[in-house]
Amino acid sequence: MNKKSLVIINYEFQTVMGECRGKVLDFLTEEQLKEFNSIGYSGKTTDNRPMGRVDYLNSLFPNEQFTLLKTRSDNGDFSEDWVLTRVILPEPKTVRHASRK
């Protein structure tokens, strides 16, 4: 991946009672996915702090930005469909200063 280019990745997934089904969000560790699912179900982290899914993801990856769009709402079966957009930002440029004599 070119360090100077913007990368945009979309993940489509389904939740049942707030829990993400399948291994679609493969960039998350098992522990991070557990936390993501807890937030999806209760709106709180596993240590009972209120937090949204997007805020959680953005806190994990400082050089990335996430958005979440619900594409199908619960119609009585406790499931919802989502599209998560992950934007990987270019690494910041390092500025080199010429030494002064």
In whole angstroms, give the CA distance from residue 90 to residue 64.
Answer: 9
Q: Tell me: the pLDDT tens digits for 11-68?
A: 999 999 989 987 889 999 999 999 999 999 999 999 999 999 999 999 999 999 999 9
In whole angstroms, give the CA distance from residue 92 to residue 4.
Answer: 8
| Angle made by CA atoms 35, 14, 82, in degrees to the nearest 5 | 90
In whole angstroms, give the CA distance from residue 25 to residue 99.
Answer: 46
DSSP code for 7: E
Residue 91: per-residue pLDDT: 77
Q: What is the mean pLDDT of residues 5-15?
A: 95
Q: Which residues pair with 80 in a beta bridge?
A: 15
